[in-house]
Chains A and B, each alone.
Chain A
Amino acid sequence: MKTISRRQFLGITTKMTAATAFAGTFAPSATSFFGLGGIAHAATKKITPFTFAILTDAHLYDIKDHKFDAFLEKGVADINSMNPLPDFVLYAGDIGQSGKDSELKKGKAILDKLKVKYRVIPGEHDWYLDMGKSWKGHFGNETWSFDHKGVHFIGMNSILVPDFWTMAGLTPEERMGRMEELECHNCGLWGVGSAQLEWLAKDVKNISRDTPVVILTHSPLWNYYPRWNFQTVDAPEIREILRKFEKVIAIHGHVHQVVYNQIGNISSAGLLSTSWPWPYPPVELPYPHLKMNRVDPGNFEDGLGSHAVNLAADFMGTLNYREFAHLLPENVRRGLKL
């Protein structure tokens, strides 16, 4: 019932969502479902191979010389040490912990040390003190797209929740405090909302289906563990809009862990933070062999890291977790195939 009312709210037709559910469950790819050609994941348009890097979830506090400052610095230094340098860096949200301008400013100062350009999307920790005002002041629009060497990159703000604070009479600090808690009991499920769905539909309208697409969101575009907002409420609608493409790589922050899923034409991967690792929630993982080991609480760098994604000419992607400590099992250390 909840799902239906959500979709009614978003104005997406039942027909579309039913098609999404079918594709997600059975169809190996959008193209084979429609019979538009080829084998699943057949060649997309050839691209010029390149590498980009990713950082996420620094959760900086407004405290001088906090250990998380050093971890973000380490991630930046690691990326700057790559030879050759990546073409650019993506940042998947939660620069700050409590949405304070001082936290975001500190984060920007550290990220500005990157030797290559970077693009950022927000996380809930960046947003709910002033509803994104400071974040936008530092980083610009939270919804964007650009093309690079034949790949279409999309960034979206996936952490928008319905208003739970006005009726409750909460102060901005109280609102932020509730959102800071992963297991908030009354904050609600978050998503991108109808305006961004419309934007996305327009953004990809004139892009050919054989164009490789990479989409960056803070939260997963699949229903992993809604209790901790390891989900995006309108992910089915996003997947529907992107279903015309032969292949989409979705990358997300928020989960602070190695996790992988594949739904239809979209392969999806979670990232390591530069703050702390989350434990795996008590649900069955779709790809249980692709996960990190249990962390040592005595090693503050365990479970943290930066990332590099290599894209080959046929748009085969490899996500390399550049872990700060030795934690990953060998199959993950070799890189996740996207």
Chain B
Amino acid sequence: MNGKTFGIKAGVIASSVVLALLAATAQAKEPRTPVQAEDEWNALMAAVKKGDDLWHNGKLGTNGLACGNCHPDGSASNPHTWPKFQTNLGKVGTLREMINWCIAVPMQGKPLPLDSDDMIAMEAYATYTHRGVAIAPAKDEQHGAVPVVSGPGYPTAGGH
């Protein structure tokens, strides 16, 4: 009896859960339409483009240097390795904090607010140039940017 009663109760509970899930599903947000997806992608690409400009135009520093002087295509910014302990920061820090260190020290400029649109754009650019690279916290290896889709040329096997 007990078993049956438990069985009935369990059945009722299970049915309730299924109904609740169905209700939740019915109320869930619709998947993005292709138009929405494109708009969101374009918004990201606009941030990447803005970050690309800031990365290269030298306006963040006072001595003419830009991030791109030492980090062409975002290479060696290693966005897949942050947060990590960074000697120049003296603590576990973020990519944004390292970007600010580079602005302040080698470029002799004024650091950006960490949550500013400009800083987010810089992070978007650095991360986009490393899309597909596996996350590897504190990996002690410099990583080049992934091969880009635009540009004048590509390497050939054997260096000829």
| A residues at B contact (CB < 8 Å) | 2, 21, 24-25, 61, 63, 66-67, 97, 181-189, 222-229, 231, 236, 261, 263, 275-283, 286, 294, 296-298, 300
Chain A interface: which of B4-12, B16-24, B138-146? B138-146
Kindly report which residue of chain B lies nearest to residue A236, judged by CB atoms: B160
Task: Return the CB mask of B96-132 against A: 1 if under 8 Å, else 0.
Answer: 0000011001100000000000000000000000000
A183 touches B151 (CB 8 A): yes
Is B72 located at the chain interface by the 8 A CB criterion? yes
Complex interface: chain A residues within 8 A of B158 (CB): 24-25, 286
Q: For the complex, what is the distance from the CA of A86 to the CA of B71, rounded to whole Å?
A: 34
18 A–B contacts from the bound complex (CB under 8 Å):
A61-B63, A61-B64, A63-B64, A184-B152, A186-B152, A222-B159, A223-B155, A225-B155, A231-B153, A236-B160, A261-B159, A280-B144, A281-B75, A282-B75, A282-B145, A294-B141, A294-B142, A297-B88
In the complex, what residue of chain B is closest to A21 when comparing beta carbons? B160
- Measured in the bound complex, the distance between the Cα atoms of B153 and A187 in whole Å is 11
Nearest 7 A/B pairs, CB to CB: A226-B153, A282-B144, A279-B76, A182-B72, A61-B64, A24-B160, A298-B88
Report Cα–Cα, A297/B101, bound state, in Å.
10
Chain A residues within 8 Å of B150, by CB: 185
How long is the Cα–Cα vector from A24 to B157 in the complex, in angstroms?
A: 12
CB distance from B94 to the nearest CB of A (A): 16
* B72 partner, pick from A2, A228, A275, A296, beta carbons under 8 A: A228
**Are B56 and A189 neighbours in the complex by a CB distance under 8 Å?**
no
- The minimal Cβ–Cβ distance linking A329 to chain B, given in whole angstroms, is 15
Which of B106, B146, B153 is packed against the most chain A CB atoms within 10 Å? Answer: B153
Question: Whose C-beta in chain A lies nearest to the C-beta of B69?
Answer: A276
Question: For the complex, would chain A's binding face be called helix, strand, loop or mixed by DSSP majority?
Answer: loop
Minimum C-beta distance from B62 to chain A (A): 9
Q: Is the CB of A227 within 8 A of B106?
A: no
Chain A hits for B142, CB < 8 A: 279-280, 294
In the assembled complex, how far is the CB of residue A283 from the closest CB belonging to chain B, in whole angstroms? 5
Contacts A279-B71, A282-B144, A294-B141 known; 15 new A-B pairs at CB < 8 A: A2-B153, A24-B158, A25-B160, A182-B72, A184-B151, A185-B152, A224-B155, A226-B152, A226-B154, A227-B147, A261-B159, A277-B70, A280-B144, A297-B101, A297-B105
- Number of B interface residues in the complex (CB < 8 A): 36
Cβ-defined contact, A297 with B106, below 8 A: yes
Q: How far is the CB of B96 from chain A (nearest CB, A)?
A: 16
The docked-state distance in angstroms from the alpha carbon of A186 to that of B150 is 8
A16 to B51 CA separation, bound complex (whole angstroms): 45
* Complex interface: chain A residues within 8 A of B69 (CB): 275-276
> Given the complex of chains A and B, what is the CA–CA distance between A283 and B72 in angstroms?
14
CB distance from A169 to the nearest CB of B (A): 20
A223-B64 in contact given A279-B70, A280-B144 (Cβ < 8 Å): no
A283-B155 in contact (CB<8A): yes
Q: List chain A residues, Cβ under 8 A from B102.
A: 297
| B159:A223 contact, CB within 8 angstroms | yes
Cβ-closest chain A residue relative to B78? A279
Bound-complex Cα distance A63 to B147 (A):
34
- CB proximity to A under 8 Å, residues B36-75: 56, 63-65, 68-73, 75
**Chain A residues within an 8 Å CB radius of B160:** 21, 24-25, 222-223, 236, 263
Q: How far is the CA of A159 from the CA of B68 in the complex (A)?
A: 20
Whether A187 touches B152, Cβ cut-off 8 Å, given contacts A25-B158, A278-B72, is yes
A183 to B150, CA, bound (A): 10
How far does the Cβ of B49 sit from chain A's closest Cβ, in whole Å?
A: 11
Name the one of B65, B73, B101 contacting A183, with C-beta atoms under 8 angstroms. Answer: B73
| Shortest distance between the CB of A301 and any CB in chain B (Å) | 12
In the assembled complex, the CB of A108 is this many whole angstroms from the nearest CB of chain B, namely 19
Q: Check: B156 CB closer than 8 A to any chain A CB.
A: yes
B87 is an interface residue with CB less than 8 A from chain A: yes
Q: Which residue of B lies closest to A185 (CB)?
A: B150
Q: Is B134 an interface residue (CB 8 A)?
A: no
> Once bound together, how far apart are the Cα atoms of A228 and B152, in whole Å?
8
Of chain B, the residue at the smallest CB distance from A282 is B144
Which residues of A sit under 8 angstroms from B159, Cβ to Cβ?
A: 222-224, 261, 263, 286
Q: How far is the CB of B3 from chain A (nearest CB, A)?
A: 64
Does chain A have a CB within 8 A of B28?
Answer: no
Query: Is B1 an interface residue, CB under 8 A from the partner?
Result: no
Once the chains are docked, how many angstroms separate the CA of A182 from the CA of B56?
10
